[in-house]
Structure 1
Amino acid sequence: MPSDPRGHHLLLRLAALSALAAAVFASTASASELIDRNAANVKLQVGASGQALLSYEARGKRWNVLAWGAENAIAPTTARPQVAFKLDYSGGYGTYKRDVWKTFRNSCRPYSGSELQWLVTACTAADGSHWAVQAWQRMLPNYGLVPTAKQAVWELRLSHWSGELPQLTVKQNWAYRSFEHLFGSFTYQGRPVHGFRTTSTGQPLDTFGRNLYVDTYDSAYGKGWKRENSFLVHKDTGKFCYGFYTHGARPVGAGARYRATIIGPGVTPDVYWESDSLGAYDRDFDLRMHEEQKSFYAGDGLCKAV
């Protein structure tokens, strides 16, 4: 029996509508929003209505993405998702049935906010809030391995906030009087940043969890910056601890310097820390930090002073 052509046309129409919906609201992740990868010639504009227009080149074409509807972040909760942008990758046509990007009027002023790492461009809107675009290599493989093309991408991330930035605190000491060690916390507005559900390998399964991405400089992995590891900040406390140990056949990744990057909660910017390594073992300093860790880890059963 021949198929009903009306059904075929209906399926085509539904497919077209699905494609349009995907183009308009392509992202539901809650963080400094991942917009695209390996972008070039990036331009950020913000209109008087509070909508942002992010224009850039990627995958062989020019993109004009409207973003709106989110600022800052909410505290971790199981009652609702984290705040997230509404995104229109059609430049406004999918939302307003017209090419908004062609007549978009920018009212954003030069950026007057705090210093940001990985910054591509930023501006301060008429209402005093800040918008920023950052780009960095989040997907690099752990333990200094050579990345594939997919792992080496530079993610283009958009943020919108007012007031204070999230706080990434990182301290250094030694574990077992031998291995260089990092510990610290991630907070926003004085509260821990953390999620509630993860995979067995520590990948967040909700919109609140965050991984910390640690790089090492001039290490046994080679010259320059290499990814050491990425790991989850802990549920309820937002704390973490990490030792530079051997991992299988890979050497110890201790280096001359360390840096760490973490995706901001909600649509706040991604936050960065960098410091020289401690160098030669200092027993007196290590004993002081050992005592500090005992109180710092209170309430966190996943870390202990060693």
Structure 2
Amino acid sequence: MQRYQHTVAGEARCKGVGLHSGREVELSIKPAPPNHGIRFSRIDLPNRPTICAIFKNVVDTSLATVIGGEGAIVSTIEHLMSSFAGLGVDNALVEINSYELPILDGSAAPFARMITEAGLKEQDSPRYYFMVRQPIQLAENGRSVTIYPDEQARVTCNIDFPHPAMGKQTVSITLSGNAFEEEICRARTFGFLHELEFMKQCGLAKGGTLDNAIVLDEEKVINEEGLRFEDEFARHKLLDCLGDFSLLGIPILGHVVTHKSGHAFNHAFLEKFFQEKDCWETTTLIAQEKAVMQA
């Protein structure tokens, strides 16, 4: 775990197609000072409106995580946000010339590769954490998100889809070392063929293809190359979870466990998390180490 905040050491760039808009979009990630957080700037609009990537700025979670502010929106931020969280980037400015991030290959791997190639730079400000002291749970209609006290940053995701190629899957990760890069970032987004066809009829998923998503018919995965992991579906849900929970603004020291959750339910949990202020405290690892030494 990191004692100090980090930003990217240099600029990183990519371009691609938005999943729903089908528009070509260019994106760049730039270094930012301590306590800046992750912010998105719409450089295609007058005055370049900038939106801080925190949960109170979330304006839609129906198909993706969308943030808004200053009269602008930025959509489908979860894969990039997951990469920032998984790689330990606290501060960055993301400049984008459209309202939707590129889907790339449907996973977080291209974003993670961009960031690692740019490198990380340690900054001179301590990194703050939410340290969970008591469990917090939100449960509804068979779905749940629970967070338990833990000395590490851990996430466990459980999915249960009534489909022969999916079914019940569980995956768990401790965010340390290269775990995100090796176990999670390559897992792709997924959807069902009938849903994709319907969305295209409604003018959505214009950029969706078999090159940037796992697509299932009623019985099987129809992508010729198959899956990257046997449990790729659960791994991608965990990837999305990391992106959603990063919108708390600072990382969590605790064990997040989700069951049949998605963007909307994750966001509802973030609101409950902030209501349960007696269950957590903000601290730094430096402060915790001093407290242990003085005890």
Select the structure of larger CA radius of gyration: 1
Give the structure with the larger helix fraction.
Answer: 2
Relative contact order higher in (CA < 8 Å, ≥ 6 apart)? 2
Q: Same fold (TM over 0.5)?
A: no
TM-score (norm 1): 0.25
TM-score (norm 2): 0.25
